[in-house]
Amino acid sequence: MTGKITVVGSGYVGLVAAACLAELGHSVICVDNDLNRVATLQAGGVPIHEQFLPELLQRHRGKRLEFSSSLPDAVAASSVIFIAVGTPPKDNGEADLSYVESVAREIAQNLNGYKVIVEKSTVPVYTNEWIRQVLNLTAGPHADFDVVSNPEFLREGTAVTDFLYPDRIVVGADSERAAELLKGVYAPITNGSYYQNIDRIPEPDSALIPPPLILTTAKSAELIKHASNAFLALKISFINAVANICEGVGADIQQVAKGMGSDSRIGPQFLRAGLGYGGSCFPKDVAAFHAVARECGYEFNLLEEVMRINEDQRTRFLKKIRTALWTLKGKKLGVLGLAFKGKTDDIRESPAIGLIQQLLAEGAHVIAYDPAAMPRTREVLQDKITYADSPYDVADGADALLILTDWEEFAKLDLKHVHKLLRYRIILDGRNLYCKDEMEQYGFIYVSVGRQPVPLRQLARVG
């Protein structure tokens, strides 16, 4: 067992990491310079929507997990310090590391004995060296510390189970001393002891227990994170490009994806055609990886195409909306989904938000519903759209229903009731949640991605 652990940052990565490290039995201090956020967490609030996170916070708050705004005090009390602050993209695609540098400088000013500083934020290669240099310049050459890269592979919506039941744990350490300390941090997972607890978070299907711990150099660990996310984004853009071909030749992308994904060398994950990727990771990480390659003298043109296809998916879907409705000005459009994907309230780089903004620019009236993301959407769109209380309120009197986020409840609607509520029987499904036969059976005009539309037979008023 290690000494106390500090996690700097209480965003998606930091808060999940802090709660899960406490779940593993560690004493954890989660530090943030946002005083309101710290107060919210201390008072029992949960600032993000994440499955199992409320349970972990309630279980460990005030016991193994404390929240603080004092980084100096946390550094002094801890042997391991995780940096999990934001690294937003600059205009040129490079990651903005100013927050990481600021935290590293403050850590250096408060070193009191050997510390392991762990970069948990998604950062480009060489960040480990820059953190080390900042620490040396600030604390002096005789300061006793190591810097480790420990990339996270958390998916929003399943981040807690991804942390506790990972496919792998990557530790990039350039010293044996630091590597041993990180091994101790993750020992309850790698030796399987956590999975013996009766009150453990339930394991997902096909969980690898225990997962492997992969030791690498710091540079390799940094590249593993960016390369992994870029490859997954590539799979999404690839299947969307194939979906566009399917529309042109009359094939069905779901059948094609099933045939492709059955090949063990390819696998079915991330082969779902739709509106493209979004969120806080893929757009930022692909752009940052492209910038890293360019800085190294390599033009990674494949990544440019990945980004172009992703943007094109939204443009193509907007054209489908225009085609189905002829003109958008004055139309009442019901939108299901605001988050960039289901099971999260994150709207950063959400295809739904981008499409809504384009619809508003063309004069459409939008009424929307999302199980979790409406408060965050209000911060961005204010009252430019109407917010509904249920999917059926969205459909009531709408000229068309747009499905833009893959929430499970959107795939289980009472279609007979929706049929009665809609002004026109038009559904545009950007997530392919329904089968064409079902839509045809209920008499909908149905447009999806990578499949032939259920044709317009009679555009009749309903009700």
- Positions annotated as catalytic residues are 281
d(CA 330, CA 306): 35
DSSP 236: H
Closest CA to 189 of 205, 206, 203, 174: 203
d(CA 210, CA 221): 20
Structure token pair of residue 438: 């079902």
CB 392 within 8 A of CB 418: yes
For strands 332-336 and 213-216, give the pairing.
unpaired
H or E stretch covering 400:
strand 400-403
CB 105 within 8 A of CB 138: yes
Structure token pair of residue 35: 């005083």
Q: Which residues pair with 333 in a beta bridge?
A: 366, 400
d(CA 253, CA 102): 47
Residues whose CB falls within 8 Å of the CB of residue 122, separated by 6 or more in sequence, listed in order: 87, 95, 151, 152, 225, 226, 229, 281, 284, 285, 288
DSSP SS3 for 5: strand
CB 217 within 8 A of CB 255: no
